[in-house]
Structure 1
Amino acid sequence: MTANSIANTKPTLTAQQLLDSYASGSRYFTQANMTGADLSGVNLSGVCLSGVRLSKGDLQGANLSGAYLSGASLSGANLSGANLRGADLTGAHLNWANLSGADLTGADLTGADISGANLSDAMLQGANLSGTYLIGAHLKGADLRQANLAQASLSKADLAGAKMGAANLVLAKLKQANLTSAELDGANLAGAMLKEANFSKAQMHKANLSKVDLTDADLTGANLSKADLSHTDLRSADLQGTNLSGANLSGADLSGVDLSQKLLTGAKFTEADLCLANLSGAYLVQASLEGANLMGANLTGAHLITTNLADANLSGANLTRANLVQANLRGACLQGTIAPNGKVHQ
């Protein structure tokens, strides 16, 4: 028996039959075929529709709070404005579904396929989206605060203006995702794939971005103050207007990156790779560059007051007009370094 013939053996259930049985107290309607059914605006709170086929169904404004929809097929369904608070949607198929403005607060969507779906302005606070497929999904303005998106696939997803404070995005895939003006304060993105992602004007105060791939990412105007960027790859990232004050960039790869005129007060660059980086005019007051690789870096006019440069590699670096008042240069390599007075150190 083929897969299609098996699927076609599912008992057909009309919308009216479902509503009549629900009104009589029945709650279990698993594995039924309700493709294209009109259930808009109905109350089905706590219903069990596990494995049900509701592809292209109309559930606009329906009350499905606490419903069991695990493994259900809702591809292309209209769930805009639906109440799905606390619903079980584990492993459900919601690709290309319309969930705009839907309330999914506290819902469980573990392993669900939501690729290409419209979740703009949806409420997903505290929802479990771990391991979900949200490739190319539209989440503009969605509320994902404290949501669990660990290992979720969000490549090319639109998260512009999304609220994601304290969200768990550990090991999530966000390559080429749009997070313009997104709120990510305190979010955990450790180990995430963020290559070529757009974080312009995003708020990421105290966010965890350790061991992240941010190569070629757009971070223009983003707020990364006190963020953890340790051991992160930032090569070719656009950091124009980015706030990195108090950020932890220990062990980060910033080789060749433009940090000119950047406010980096109190930032930690311990053992970071800043080879050939442009730090001209940067404010590195009280910053830690201990053991950092600054070989060939441009530090002309940099503010290095009370900066820790102990054991740093400054060979070939240009420190012309740099302010090194009370800076710690103990054990630093200064071979071929251009001193503040313009003389080359032998």
Structure 2
Amino acid sequence: MSKYFLLPSIGTACLLLMLSQTAGAQIVFSDSFDDGQASTRWSAPLETIEFSTSDWTLDYAFDYSQIQNPFAGNAPIPSAPNSTGGSTIGVYMTANNTEQTTGDEGEAIGIVSNFALPSGDFSITADLFLFWNGGGGSTEYSIFGANHDGSNNVPFPFNVNAGSGIAWAADSDGDSGTDLYRFEEGIGQTGLGGYEAIPSGSIPNVPTGSPAPVGIYSQWVEVQIEVVDGNAAFSINGYLIDTVASAFTGGGVLLGHADYFNSVNNAIGGFTNGSIWDNIVVTELGAAVAGDFNGDGKVDNGDLNLLLGNWGLATVPPEWTNGFDTPVDNGELNALLGNWGFGVGVAVPEPSAALLFVTGLVAAAARRRS
């Protein structure tokens, strides 16, 4: 699978190359939920409740385009950013939907993947839409976790349990003193403060540092958990929220939703506040990939631009990763072409088209430098 030929010259057009997916980062599990069979890949619903009555809903194959987003002119929720073909199927979870008669009403619901996470370094990404209809009971949380053992517990902050493994929770509208939580098995929870504590504009496309409403409400965001050398990190839209040393292994991915408070989740327009999850991807992070010159885990246009901008230099720039000690020439080009598209997670051009395109660009750069 990892075969390629050295280029005899920059201008050569007749090339045969196969894309490599055998080294470095490798996708080991993904779920778009489009086939309607997600319930066979994920656990039965798990719950943590303060009161004795379950009061949640969960749909493994929900068409979220049915929901009109009041913060987008009541337009239907669009296809998630990492979906293909305009799909609008995902998992929809709600909690604490009706008034209870006695006791505290806090509740959390979740599911765990049947797929066991890698024992080494890995990354989990997901598309998340935390729907807020603008009504009462608005401060609800989406929960994203790793190394959950599948037992019947979902992270909950008020002396009930912390779940298993490690997880983070983020609320919708920034209407709580603690908008962000971290949960660790055996340790409990850590309040990470509010969105207002995050410098304004730091989370791309998420309002922070401004009057309410702030937060990740009613928009698609990408959340990520990355575990490298025993250190776990949680990010939203590429912005690092929290890091912590993590010794947890095994278990699966946790997707959850919670209403930690006694407020009732009011239905407006036929739908209550809830978390919509789509496009879960688990990537095993292995050895460095040749051609990933900027070290971002992908071999794509960023690396190509580095190659073109430095073509012909006597030595590889010292800040490059996975470079060589030769001049920037065919060695680096072959490494890039041999792993072109690696880690991108979307369709890449057919090898012949990609080769002709890239080779033409490199040839043009060489002519400009001559």
Bin for the TM-score computed over the shorter chain? under 0.3
Q: TM-score, normalised by structure 1?
A: 0.24
Higher Cα Rg: structure 1 or 2?
Answer: 1
Scaled by the length of structure 2, the TM-score of the pair is: 0.23
Higher fraction of helix:
2
